[in-house]
Amino acid sequence: MNSNKMTLAAIFTLLILLGGRCTAAQAQDWSAASSAAVAASQRGEYALAEASYKEAIEIQQNTMGADHPGVAISLNNLAVIYQDQSKYPQAEQAYLQALAILEKDASQKASTGLTLNNLAALYHDEGMDAKAEPLYKRALGIWQGLGKNQSANEAIAVIGLAGIYHSRNQDANAEPLYLRALKLWNEPGKPESTEAAAVLFQLGEIYHARSNNTEAAPMYSHALAIWENTSQMDSSEAITAQATLGEIYRAEGKYSEAEPLLERALKATEQTLGQDHLNLAASLNNLALLYYCEAKYDSAEPLYKRALEIREKNLGTDDPAVQQTKQFYAALLRQVGRKAEARKLEAQASGSGVALL
């Protein structure tokens, strides 16, 4: 999930509000530069946006002073532009400069919280979770103090902190935070967002890892419904959710529900990763197994053959995944009475020195 894009909109709103605190003469030039920066960033013209924010900052410092909150917000927005360009050292410096200004003014709690959210996200993206964690916690304290009208920003901090715990395999800590984020977003009449879908997916992953498919299945299903409505079914998370939910349904004997999921996951995987990717071999194997369970042996066989070819090409003949595919394929051949071919595959698997499953 891209939390930076969510916070950028909020920061821009604050910038406009701050403009009303200055005289028209003071605000005219820097407002024009800031508006030009926002427009350029929306067009993806980051170099122009960067130059425009720097111009706005210089004007603000000269007209309002170096410690004015408007300077901090422009610094924060400049940092977002740096972050979008993967200029992480420059982004960190701008965020820290913004925080140094905002923390001097007790009335700027919301702006401070937004900058803390962004800087924490920067550190998390860079794998520096030890720095990100306390910033998210500080931001959460601010959002909780400001009340319900900051629920969206609170959710960003909650999800960021949950992501840190999830990446550390501390899912006992991550789970309640993800659930809290869903509650914050669950406002009557509000359409469900792709951010909520991402959280539902992460909860599904947590429950599936615990083999708690009773809880995992509805999370994956709900996330997929949101992605379907927002035309994001080809994202990597959506593909994984389809494949995993299809496997859950297959294991439960819900073949008619599993089939369209596994077929769509296979198609999307091939379209996004190409014809020789190992993830495609896994998708082929999963769908072939379902067809085998449904006694659709003619449909299963070409999928096993393709999966075997891809895995041998990428892993070599002795890899356990290759041998497992041979065993499944051999079981199919035996089922349709082609025992000589089955014995040949079984001999190859046995000869590899890999234990049969």
Share of the chain above pLDDT 90, in %: 70
pLDDT at 247 over 90: yes
pLDDT at 357 over 50: no
pLDDT band for position 63 (cuts 50, 70, 90): confident
Q: CA angle, 338 as apex, 337 and 342 as ends, to 5°?
A: 120
Tell me the pLDDT of the chain averaged across its residues: 88
Question: Which pLDDT does position 236 carry in this prediction?
Answer: 93
Question: Which pLDDT does position 149 carry in this prediction?
Answer: 77
Amino acid at position 241, single letter: A
Question: Which pLDDT does position 20 carry in this prediction?
Answer: 44
Token pair of 210 as six digits: 């615990």
pLDDT, one tens digit per residue, over 141-177 is 999 999 877 888 899 999 999 999 999 999 999 999 9
The CATH number fitting domain 1-143, selected from 3.50.50.60, 1.10.3720.10, 3.10.150.10, 1.25.40.10 = 1.25.40.10
One-character DSSP codes across 251-277: HTT-HHHHHHHHHHHHHHHHHHH-TT-
HSE (side-chain half, CA atoms, 13 Å) at 90: 13
Token pair of 253 as six digits: 């004997």
Q: Report the pLDDT averaged over residues 209-218.
A: 97
pLDDT at 244 over 50: yes
Sequence ranges of the domains in the chain:
1-143, 205-265, 274-357
Q: Report the pLDDT averaged over residues 287-301.
A: 97
Q: Report the pLDDT averaged over residues 229-258.
A: 96
Q: Which of 66-70, 220-224, 272-276, 346-350 has the lowest mean pLDDT?
A: 346-350
Amino acid at position 101, single letter: I
Annotate 273-300 with b (16+ C-beta within 10 A) or e (fewer).
eeeeeebbbbbbbbbbbbbbeeeeeeeb
pLDDT at 255 over 60: yes
pLDDT at 139 over 60: yes
Question: Which pLDDT does position 165 carry in this prediction?
Answer: 97
One-character DSSP codes across 55-91: HHHHHHHHHH-TT-HHHHHHHHHHHHHHHHTT-HHHH
Say if residues 59 and 30 touch (Cβ distance below 8 Å).
yes
> Count H helices, E strands: the chain?
17, 0
Q: Which helix (H) or strand (E) holds 51?
A: helix 46-64
Question: Which pLDDT does position 33 carry in this prediction?
Answer: 83
Q: Distance between CA atoms of 307 and 319, rounded to whole angstroms?
A: 13
Token pair of 206 as six digits: 């947590």
Phi first, then psi: what are they for 22, rounded to 5°? -105, 160
Question: Which pLDDT does position 352 carry in this prediction?
Answer: 55
Say if residues 85 and 51 touch (Cβ distance below 8 Å).
no
Domain 274-357 homologous superfamily, CATH: Tetratricopeptide repeat domain (1.25.40.10)
Question: Which pLDDT does position 242 carry in this prediction?
Answer: 98
